[in-house]
Each structure stands twice: as C-alpha cells, then as structure tokens.
Structure 1
C-alpha cells in the first residue's frame, strides 16, 4: 500500500480548508436569507447558500477522484461563532444592516481561504476550479459590501 504523495496531501489539506469555509457560508447564508427582511437580498442569500453547496460538492468530488473517501467536514470554529453571534443579534432585533455585516465578514474569510489554498501546490485543473469559484465569491463580497454600505 503506497502512502499519498506530499502534493496530494497539500491539495487535500487546501481543499478541506476551503470546504470548511464553504460549509460556514452555506449555513450562514441560509440563515441570513431566512432572517433578512429585504426580499431581493433574501433571494440572493438563499441562492448563494445553494451556490456554496455546489462549490463544496465540486471540491468533494475532486477529493473523491483523488482517492480521498472520508470527506466529512463541519465548518470552522470561527464560522460557528459568527453564526451564533448572528443568531443573537437577530433575536435582539438587529436589522438587515447587521446581517449584511455578518455576511461581509463571512465573504472576507472565504476570499482569504481561497487565497491560502492557491498558495500551495495545486494541480492546474484544481487550481482552475478554485480560481473560478474565488472569482464568484469576490463578486459576491463586492455585492454584499455595496448592499451593506447602501444601508448605512
């Protein structure tokens, strides 16, 4: 039985880190979509939650193709704390502005996770997937920031 190569381990570690952040975003955006009052933003966040699930599925499929079969992730501790804090703010009557602030923090974390992942060795086809996903997340971050800034 051969041991996984160093490159495969680096790729697996990088993808797992991104998957954890995608889990956070998927859960967080779903909650924000359920709580936000603005209907346009509600639809946006629920759709982005599904997009994060799709991104996660693609990355998990890549890991499966590379022979990694145990891809059970639960998100990051920071993401769990952020969602809990968002729940507290919502329960205390925080409005859309506060929810957008939470979403903006989440997107900043996602952009950083993708940047860290692409700093390691990643095979070109996987790098292309990450680059495409990161571009989408960057556009999402800009949209959320604009919505947040408009609400000030």
Structure 2
C-alpha cells in the first residue's frame, strides 16, 4: 500500500505531466485561434485556450493545497514541434491545415489524460481528470468535424 508521501509524489508527478499538456494546448489554441480566418472557429479556439488555462489552474490548486510550489513548466518538445509545423501549415494551407494541427494536439492531450488515469490517484483528483478529459474529447470531436467540413 502506498504511503502518503509516495501518493503525494505520484499525484504531483502525474499532475505535472497533465499540466505540461495543458500549457501546450493553451498556447496552441491561442496561436491557432489568432491565425484562423473563420470568425466562429477563431472564437471557439480562443475560448478553449481559456478553458485549458482554467483546467491548469484547477490542477495547480490541488498541488498548492498539498504544499507544492508553483508550476513553472514550459510545455513539451512534441508540442513545440507541432506548433512549428502549424506555423508552416498556416503559411501554406489555411484553416484546414490549422485544424489538422489542432486535432493532432488534441490527440496528444487525450493521451496525457489517459496516461494519468492509469495511475493510482485519490478519488477527487481522478474525478477532476475524468471531467477535464471528457471536455477535451468533446473538443477533439468538434475540431475534427470542423476540419472535415472545411475540406
């Protein structure tokens, strides 16, 4: 049976990985939202960027309550590469290419949540992650449908 300190370390490590993904998503949604031509999609992406910031804040609050200092993560290398690829696609492919990049980023976010949920976590943390993951999956579906519509 895990000890409280081991449980806290596991929760901290797990939440840090998810927070990194959320940082990636927040920045990516902001940049894609700024670049999109379709005003409705632009608003959606900017709103989702704010949602990811809110999700991150909820997870950081859990860590703060456990005495963990502020998270000063900068995102993942995979996301940096996706953003660079997205910048190139912006120059070459317009909204469809941007949505394709966003869909790939959402796949990465879902994977981060799925990985987190394989770990031993306290029920309130697990419930929060499940709720956030459901939102991200719905966002992924929305982005996919929007991408298919723009072809």
TM-score range, shorter chain: over 0.9
Q: Is it true that 1:10 corresponds to 2:10 in the alignment?
A: yes
Q: Which residue of 2 aligns with 1:108?
A: 107
Using structure 1 for the length normalisation, give the TM-score: 0.94
Q: Which residue of 2 aligns with 1:27?
A: 27
- Report the Cα offset of residue 151 of structure 1: 1.7
| Superposed counterparts of 1:9-88, under 5 Å | 9-88=9-88
Q: Which residue of 1 aligns with 2:149?
A: 150
Report the count of equivalent residues. 149
Query: Which segments of structure 1 move beyond 2 Å, counting only runs of 4 or more?
Result: none
Q: Is it true that 1:130 corresponds to 2:135 in the alignment?
A: no
Matched residues in 2 for 1:82 and 1:4: separation?
37
Q: Which ranges in structure 1 are unaligned for 5 or more consecutive residues? A: none
CA RMSD of aligned residues (A): 1.3
Using structure 2 for the length normalisation, give the TM-score: 0.95
Matched residues in 2 for 1:70 and 1:135: separation?
26
